Amino acid sequence: MILERDPQIKYTFSGHEKFQCRHLWLKKGYDYLQLNKSFTDEDAVIDLGVGKNMVASIRFWLKAFGITDAKDQITEVGELLLNDKGFDEYLEDDASLWLLHYLLVKTNFASTYSLIFNEFRKERQEFNSDNYEAFIKRKSDVIPGLNFNSNTIQSDFDIFKKMYVSSAEDYKNFDDSFIGILTDLHLVGTVQREESSDSDKTRKKTRQLLFINNRERESLPVEILLYSILDNSNYSTSISLPALENDFNSPGNVFALSRAGLVSKIQEAQEKYPSDIIYTDHAGIKELQFKRKVDPIEMLTSYYEK
């Protein structure tokens, strides 16, 4: 069964102030809140060492990544990841980036990420901002409360691109802190395509398109995969392989995993945690089963404390 998005869910395409999340912003914002400060304080600009719009952007990304809740309170996963004795306060482990990517999609505070990984990329193998805008326009025609604004959607897509895609020129011209936080995951690729001009079919112009291909994702730790499954309230202790591939916020969708990659990760998980996990394949019915109720945080702890 394919689980669908809650029709009452709120869609948000702004709030980042046109800044992608920088690598040190989450830690900076977390430490600021730990001092019992507020992003609305008059001295927030001075304390954080950034402009007013960047203060708002840091606040936005903390919520988008699930580090804080709607009231700017630090969440359990935010505390465990970023405190001074946390799992990975400076995000030096790729596992932390995979975790943040999952949280960004799942939290849906910034709707573009959930929409692209769960839905949009399934209808277009290659796409650009115009394709995404057309997709949102179609959704806005049938979903009450989904307000459509072309400039906002185009700007939001541009930030999505900066979050996941970087070029050699980006690293040459800017300090690493200006590179999108999730570029090292290599989830989103680019390709150049030639197409005819609308006014003159003999003239060609080159456009850059993005793509998200399902792959094996060797750098994705099994514990992050298992966390995403255990954290999904729609899943029980027995989950079919098609559900893990295709359900809303499934690991197949979120991590752009191929079936071979997903099966490989599950088999690896079974080998590492034989007392907790069984992968069965009887009469063509493939299932992941948990022998006991495992706390999602337990899986994170198992990885980071190894």
Q: Is residue 149 part of a domain?
A: yes
Which of 180, 177, 158 lies closest to 20 in space, CA to CA?
180
**Pair (149, 275) in one structural domain:** no
Query: Rounded to an integer, what is the distance from CA 175 to the centroid of its chain?
Result: 23
**Pair (173, 246) in one structural domain:** no
What sign results for the dihedral spanned by CA atoms 9, 11, 15, 20?
A: positive
Query: Rounded to an integer, what is the distance from CA 223 to the centroid of its chain?
Result: 16
Residue type, 46: I
Residue 38 contacts by C-beta under 8 Å, 6 or more apart in sequence? 44, 72
**Pair (151, 45) in one structural domain:** yes
**Number of structural domains the chain divides into:** 2
Look up residue 81 and give its two tokens: 């990841």
Q: Is residue 1 part of a domain?
A: no
DSSP, collapsed to helix, strand or coil, labels residue 279 as strand
Among 183, 212, 232, give the residue marking a domain's end: 183
Calculated CA dihedral for residues 155, 160, 161, 162, nearest 10 degrees: 90
Whole-angstrom Cα distance, residue 169 to residue 290?
A: 46
Residue pLDDT tens, the chain, 306 long: 444 555 567 899 999 999 999 999 999 999 999 999 999 999 999 999 999 999 999 999 999 999 999 999 999 999 999 999 999 999 999 999 999 999 999 999 999 999 999 999 999 999 999 999 999 999 999 988 788 899 999 999 999 999 999 865 544 445 555 688 999 999 999 999 887 655 555 667 788 999 999 999 999 999 999 999 999 999 999 999 999 999 999 999 999 999 999 999 999 999 999 999 999 988 788 999 999 989 999 999 999 997
Q: Which residue range(s) make up the domain with 148?
A: 25-183
Radius of gyration of the chain, Cα coordinates, nearest whole angstrom: 20
Which of 194, 195, 165, 202 lies closest to 180 in space, CA to CA?
165
User: What is the structure's pLDDT at 171?
Assistant: 43
Whole-angstrom Cα distance, residue 28 to residue 142?
A: 40
**Pair (178, 245) in one structural domain:** no
User: What is the structure's pLDDT at 2?
Assistant: 45
Q: Got the DSSP string for 204-224?
A: EEEEEEEE---B--TTS-HHH
Which of 166, 164, 182 lies closest to 174 in space, CA to CA?
166
Q: Where would I find the H helices in 108-149?
A: 111-115, 121-123, 129-142
Among 130, 155, 183, give the residue marking a domain's end: 183
**Pair (155, 251) in one structural domain:** no
- What is the reported pTM? 0.92
**Pair (117, 261) in one structural domain:** no
Eight-state DSSP code of residue 18? T
